[in-house]
Structures are given as structure tokens and as C-alpha cells.
Amino acid sequence: MDTFSYLGQGFGVALSPYNLFTALCGTLIGTIVGLLPGLGPINGVALLIPIAFALGLPPETALILLAAVYLGCEYGGRISSILLNIPGEASAVMTTLDGYPLARQGKAGVALSISAWSSFVGGLMATCGVVIFAPLLASWAVAFGPAEYFVLMVFAIVCLAGMAGNKPMKTAIAACIGLFLSCVGIDSNSGVYRFTFGSLGLADGIQFVVLVLGLFSVSEILVLLERTHHGQKAIEAKGRMLFNLKEGLSVLATNLRSGAVGFGLGILPGAGATLASAVAYMSEKRLATKDNKFGEGDLRGLAAPETANSASACGSMVPMLTLGVPGSGTTAVMLGALTLYNITPGPLLFQNQPDIVWGLIASLFVANIMLIVMNVPMIKIFTKILAVPYWALVPAIAIITSIGVYAVHATAFDLYLMIGIGVAGYILRKMDFPLSAILLGFILGGLMEQNLRRALSISNGELGILFASPITWGVWTLIVAMIALPFYRTWRKRSQRRAEAANA
């Protein structure tokens, strides 16, 4: 069966009335979560995992719901960025640079509609890329053995630090914390208790839902409690609400270039939408030599990060589905959702459970269409949600989080552990440690340990198996390059400073 036959089978799954309704609910919830400052796709997806599990949703429906929430959050983040100058999440920071100036110029409606269109174009381009490249990567990844998978996961961890901008060391430490947390519990091979400190509640390890809701939801509650103001007044979207043909054509080339950049960075493990939006924005700023008004209300400066955001979100599905390696923090949460359903992501998933894979891919097309149709006419409703005060938002998040954790195992220990993890996560956030790196380390830690043990069993304990194939050598080369990248950046900045000092 070829790719288009499988895609048709996936549309059969995604277009069933039940899954269509689920996708509609997911896109609406995701947009609302995304536009609320401080929340974001990780929180939105994390809160819905225990609810989906408790409702007994089948795996393909649960994945469609989570993917719709993910894309909806990427759409919703632009609303608070444009109208409030407050990014709903880290990846929307670049949107504020030109979106808010446009709103202050009385072009809020045009800015919102052009950003929605850009998100749609980016999502559509990337979903087409998923259809083309995911099966190819899956067929190639069948050649991966335990050694290749272990080295690939080392590469994913190293990518986090290499692409972390100005804090690679903190990102690396955060990833190591996640790796340590994945070791808690009974060793599946020897039966030895590891790092449980005599607690029976930790014998089965730290549950994924407890960790993700503690790290993100509880720590977010503590951050929101710090804010004493009742919300900044959003700029009202007046006048023309739709961009015209001239404005659409002026950003078309930007959409195409930024969509390609977003998809390319999205499929890299650990890169994420934040890096994609920054790279796309800076690339377009360099290319715009004529009539450059970037930072003052340039439509190209608004279209570039929004296109890259959505493209990166869809692109991050590729490594998750084909290699079992999350492409972003949110897909790490989705990867954990798959494990709750006893589904092992990887190349064999395309062969053994095509309904799940292709149903999810087809739902990306459906969700993008729903979002563009929903976001333009309902924009005035969404802007009113920005007025929700924190005194109402914080208790709602706390209640949903507590119910979600308690519903999994019905133990008070999980609630206490979630609170403890949340307090630790809050402290780490104040120290500027990226929590998504902890989550990625936790997800990859168990898989790394399993594959390392399998590889060493095959080789009778010889570490040479980790360097025995062309694939492992290629990945090790990439690892060395990624380790060298932060040092190269530091050297380059110092060289620039010296050159500037010499010319002064």
C-alpha cells in the first residue's frame, strides 16, 4: 500500500464524526490555552492527558485530541502577543516585535488575520512534509538496532544544549536531572530498588503524568500567584479584520521560506518552535534590505515567526513517530501519552498500527482547516478571554491538575509528589533552567537505558558495538559537532567584541 492509500485510510479515521468532534474541541481548547499568558502547549497537552485516559478514549482519538490542542496553542499564542505585547509562550516572543506595533497603529485586525493565515500556511506546508518524509525516515529507521537507537538518543540530549542559545550548560544540567529521575524505581533487570529512599510510593518510579503536571502546571500556578495585577487591557481589534490581496502577496515569499525553516528545525530533536521562530525572523530581517521596518510593524516580521511556529509544531511529529524521539517539549508529553496506551513509537508503528499514525497525520490537515476557519470570525470572543483575572485562572488550573493526577492511580502520594516536583520546578524556573529539558531527559532516559542494555547484551559487554556501524559513526559525528557549537558561538562573540574594540 503506497503513501496516499495510507493517507486515505488516515482520513477515514480522522473524518469519523467522533474524531471530528474531538478535533474541534481540541482546537478550541488549545486556542484558549495558547492565548492565556504564561500557559502554552505543554500545559494544555499535559492537562488533557489524564482526562483523555480517564474518559477511556481510544489511542487514535486521544492523539488527535492532543495534536489539535498543540496546534491550537500555536495559533492562540499570537493573540496575546499582538494585543497585549505579552507572549502566550516562548515561541511567540518574536511575534510581539512587529505584532504589537501593528496593533498600536490601528491594524490589530489585519495583524490577527495575517498571523492566522501564516500559521495555516506553515501548518499546511509542514503537514505535507510529514506525509512525504515520515514514511521515508521510518523505512530507513528500520535498520536501527539498539546501539543506533542509544546513540541517536544521546544526540537528542546533546541537541538540547547545542541549540539552547545562551544557556547550554543549564540546559545540559536540566537534561541530566531528567535522566536521573528516569532511574527512580525498581530496576527491571535485577529487581533492585533505585533512589526510592525506602518509599513504596516510588517503587514503580515517578509517573509521567505526575512529573509533567508538577513541572509545568504546579510551577505555573506559583508563577501566576506572583503576579498581583489583574491583567493588562488588550488593544481592541477595530476596523478592517481581514488582510487584502496586496498584503497577502507581500508576505507570500516570507511564508514559504519560513515554513521550510520551521519544518526543517522542527524535525531536529529538541529544537522546537522557539528556535524556529527566532531563526525565521532573523533570516527575513536580513533579506528585507528595502523598506525594512522590522520591529516597527512590518507584516513580514509578523508572518515569519507565526509560519515557522506552526511548521515546527507539525514537523516535530516526524521524529516522535518515526524514531520515538521527541522533537519538542510538547511532543515529549505526547510521547508519554503513547506509553500510557502501551504503544511504542518508532518505525514499526507505521507497519503495525497504521490507523494510529495516519489518523494522526490526517488530523493535522483537519485541525489546521478548523483553526483558520475558527480564528478569524471568533477573534473578538477570544480577545475577551484575555480579561480573565488570575484569581479565577489559578484555582481552575489547580483543580484540573489535582483531578488529573488523582484519576491515574487514586493515591494521595502522587498528589504530594506532584506538589514537591512543582515547587522544585518553580525554583528551577527562577534560576532560568529550562523545564522542557528535564522532561525530554526523563522521556529519553528509560529508552536509553533499555537500548544500551540490549546492545551490550548482543556484544557480550563490549562497548565497541556503539561504534560498529556507519549509522552510529554518522550520529557520533553530529554529536561532536553539536558539542562544539556552543564553544564556536562563544569564540565568535568574543572575536566580534575584539573587532569592535579595535575599530573603536
DSSP 382-393: HHHHTT--HHHH
Per-domain boundaries in the chain: 1-231+245-468
Spatial separation of the C-alpha atoms in residues 320 and 149, rounded to whole Å: 13
* Reported confidence tier of residue 230, pLDDT bands at 50, 70, 90: very low
Mean pLDDT of the chain: 78
Spatial separation of the C-alpha atoms in residues 291 and 7, rounded to whole Å: 43
Spatial separation of the C-alpha atoms in residues 223 and 231, rounded to whole Å: 14
Q: Over 80: is that where the pLDDT of 129 sits?
A: yes
Residue located via cell numbers 512590518: 298
Q: Over 80: is that where the pLDDT of 336 sits?
A: no
Which distant-in-sequence residues (6+ apart) come within 8 Å of 328 by Cβ? 266, 270, 271, 272, 273, 312, 313, 316, 436
User: What is the percent of the chain where pLDDT is above 70?
Assistant: 86
Q: Over 60: is that where the pLDDT of 229 sits?
A: no
Spatial separation of the C-alpha atoms in residues 435 and 447, rounded to whole Å: 19
Q: Over 70: is that where the pLDDT of 7 sits?
A: yes
Over residues 57-105, the pLDDT tens digits come to 888 888 888 888 888 887 877 777 777 766 666 667 677 777 778 787 7
Backbone angles phi, psi at 136, to 5 degrees: -65, -45
Over residues 366-380, the pLDDT tens digits come to 888 888 888 777 777
Spatial separation of the C-alpha atoms in residues 401 and 43, rounded to whole Å: 10
Which distant-in-sequence residues (6+ apart) come within 8 Å of 81 by Cβ? 87, 88, 92, 93, 95, 96, 99, 100
Amino acid at 60: E
Over residues 28-57, the pLDDT tens digits come to 888 888 777 666 777 778 778 777 877 778
**Arithmetic mean of pLDDT, 14-18:** 88
Amino acid at 203: A
Residue located via cell numbers 476596523: 239
Residue 33 grid cell: 490555552
**Arithmetic mean of pLDDT, 456-462:** 81
Q: How far is CA 232 from the centre of its chain?
A: 27
Phi/psi-derived region of residue 95, left when phi > 0, alpha when psi is between -120 and 50, beta in every other case: alpha
Among 76, 66, 67, which residue's Cα sits nearest to residue 36?
A: 76
Spatial separation of the C-alpha atoms in residues 334 and 320, rounded to whole Å: 9
Collapsed DSSP state (helix, strand, coil) of residue 185:
strand
* Reported confidence tier of residue 337, pLDDT bands at 50, 70, 90: confident
Backbone angles phi, psi at 377, to 5 degrees: -75, -25
Q: How far is CA 5 from CA 112, 135, 317, 346, 359, in A?
A: 37, 12, 20, 20, 12
Q: How far is CA 23 from CA 1, 359, 380, 476, in A?
A: 27, 12, 22, 40
Q: What 8-state DSSP symbol labels residue 466?
A: G
Spatial separation of the C-alpha atoms in residues 297 and 425, rounded to whole Å: 36
Cβ-contact 355, 9 below 8 angstroms:
yes
What does the buried/exposed string (b/e) look like for 374-413 if buried means 16 or more CB atoms within 10 Å of the residue's CB? bbeeebeebbeebeeebeebbeebeebbbebbbebeeeee
Residue scoring higher pLDDT (184 or 407)? 184
Backbone angles phi, psi at 39, to 5 degrees: -85, -150
Q: Over 70: is that where the pLDDT of 246 sits?
A: yes
Q: Over 60: is that where the pLDDT of 162 sits?
A: no
